[in-house]
A = this chain, B = another copy of it.
Amino acid sequence: MALVVQKFGGTSVADPDRIRAVAEHVVATRRRGDDVVVVVSAMGKTTDDLVRLAHEVSAAPADREMDMLLTAGERISMALLCMAIIEQGEPAVSFTGSQAGILTDTTHTKAKILDVRADRLREALAAGSVAVVAGFQGVSTASDVTTLGRGGSDTTAVALAAALEASACEIYTDVTGVFTADPRVVPEARRLPRVSFDEMLEMAATGGRVLALRSVEFARNHGVRVHVRSSFTWEPGTWVVPDEELEVEGMEQAIISGVTHDTSEAKVTIARVPDRPGVAARLFRALADDAVNVDMIVQNVSTEGHTDISFTVPHADLTRTLTVVEAQLGGIGAAGITHDADVGRVSIVGAGMKSNPGVAATMFETLAAEGINIEMISTSTIRVSCVVAEADVQRAVVALHRAFDLGTS
């Protein structure tokens, strides 16, 4: 008998019909003999509705109260799911984040999990019940209700799977797995039967929306095998597994596993920054202090004692970024600042890249052949990213997907 954690997102429990369908699946899993811990998100658009209400009563809702408010969402979905499971003949007990022992720090709206004290879940499982846990939420060391921020329910599921030593963490969603590219952009995109944690991390960081970056990091750090699959078709999806596991199996590593894209960021360039120690540190510390989420940073080699520094930030942070940087310009002696909101990032990700030289060159050639200008480049050992004009992003994705032969044959 194994223990399985099954996580269902908002679209999976959007209405009573969906909740009954999920309950059927949970009951079937249980009746095959496995212990089941279920993690649920709030129903459909509940969270958005609550956020809207908050902004109707307050221009800047207090973080602590926002957490109290939003956690009502999972409370509703998990109680309903328990009722539906019980209705189908299996015992089920719901647990808030606090009751499930998800202990966090006190950073409201984006708390970090400090510990998982899942005694009550173990007791419920030992008593033969399905344990249904509210995703996204925890209780802080100050006994206040906290939420884990974006993708928090995935993180709850992975953290519980780690704490309970589950055999797998199944993340049910409205897509059937992880694809070689966004199928809305590349119709011939193919579902990957498995990807490594590292690849999944790079994909999540560069626009793959299937799993939250944070939950993948948690899964990698704790060795939790994640199965991303659909709660609408119930077909097997994509396994996200330790890198070694893929290598051990002796499978031919695909050079490239997928092409991702992201148009949510803007590019900022600071021109003619004096090339001396501490300048970049000063600049990015100022941005960090203002909680600007800087992503890709590129600095070219120095020419005549000056260099250009470019970086990307979320569109929402652009105005704040420009204010912060302009205040720094005089101090660091830079010439000026330019920005471009109409950019996008296209990335190729693949563990096989490590042992295959020339992958980046193929990428650049492919974009050149399409007449697409590259504005910024950055690489990791298993990823190459190019910033291009936003208008060129879709064409770039399609061309790269074809160039690396990722589609269904």
A contact set with B: CB distance below 8 Å: 16, 19-20, 23, 50, 53-54, 56-62, 64-66, 68-69, 71-73, 75-76, 78-84, 86-87, 92-94, 96, 99, 120, 143, 145
Q: Give the docked Cα–Cα distance between A38 and B127 (Å).
A: 39
Which residue of B is nearest A50, CB measured?
Answer: B76
Q: Assuming the A-B contacts A50-B76, A76-B53, A99-B143, are A83 and B62 also in contact, with contact meaning beta carbons closer than 8 angstroms in the complex? A: yes
> Are A20 and B94 interface neighbours, CB within 8 A?
no
Option from B62, B71, B82 in Cβ contact (under 8 Å) with A65:
B82
Q: List 18 A-B contacts (CB under 8 A).
A: A20-B57, A23-B57, A50-B76, A53-B80, A58-B86, A60-B87, A61-B83, A62-B92, A65-B82, A65-B83, A66-B79, A68-B75, A69-B75, A69-B80, A69-B83, A72-B72, A72-B76, A96-B145
Instruction: Report A138 CB to chain B, min CB distance, Å.
Output: 14
- Contacting residues, chain B, for A66 (C-beta < 8 A): 79, 83
Interface of A is mostly: helix
Option from B57, B96, B99, B145 in Cβ contact (under 8 Å) with A83:
B57
Q: Give the docked Cα–Cα distance between A75 and B23 (Å).
A: 25
- Contacting residues, chain B, for A53 (C-beta < 8 A): 16, 76, 80
- Contacting residues, chain B, for A58 (C-beta < 8 A): 83-84, 86-87
**From A57, A72, A76, residue with most partner B Cβ within 10 Å:** A57
Q: Give the docked Cα–Cα distance between A59 and B79 (Å).
A: 14
Instruction: Report A55 CB to chain B, min CB distance, Å.
Output: 9
**From A16, A66, A71, A75, residue with most partner B Cβ within 10 Å:** A75
- Contacting residues, chain B, for A61 (C-beta < 8 A): 83
Q: Assuming the A-B contacts A20-B57, A75-B75, are A65 and B94 also in contact, with contact meaning beta carbons closer than 8 angstroms in the complex? A: yes
Q: Give the docked Cα–Cα distance between A87 and B66 (Å).
A: 13
Q: Assuming the A-B contacts A53-B16, A79-B65, A99-B143, are A87 and B59 also in contact, with contact meaning beta carbons closer than 8 angstroms in the complex? A: yes
What 9 A-B pairs come out closest when comparing CB atoms?
A69-B79, A16-B56, A58-B83, A68-B79, A72-B72, A58-B87, A57-B84, A72-B75, A65-B82
Q: Give the docked Cα–Cα distance between A93 and B65 (Å).
A: 7
Q: Give the docked Cα–Cα distance between A54 and B82 (Å).
A: 10
- Contacting residues, chain B, for A82 (C-beta < 8 A): 62, 65, 68
- Contacting residues, chain B, for A62 (C-beta < 8 A): 82-83, 86, 92
- Contacting residues, chain B, for A145 (C-beta < 8 A): 96
- Contacting residues, chain B, for A79 (C-beta < 8 A): 54, 65-66, 68-69, 72
Instruction: Report A103 CB to chain B, min CB distance, Å.
Output: 15
> Are B86 and A65 interface neighbours, CB within 8 A?
yes
Instruction: Report A90 CB to chain B, min CB distance, Å.
Output: 12
Q: Give the docked Cα–Cα distance between A83 and B84 (Å).
A: 34
- Contacting residues, chain B, for A50 (C-beta < 8 A): 76
Q: Give the docked Cα–Cα distance between A86 and B69 (Å).
A: 15
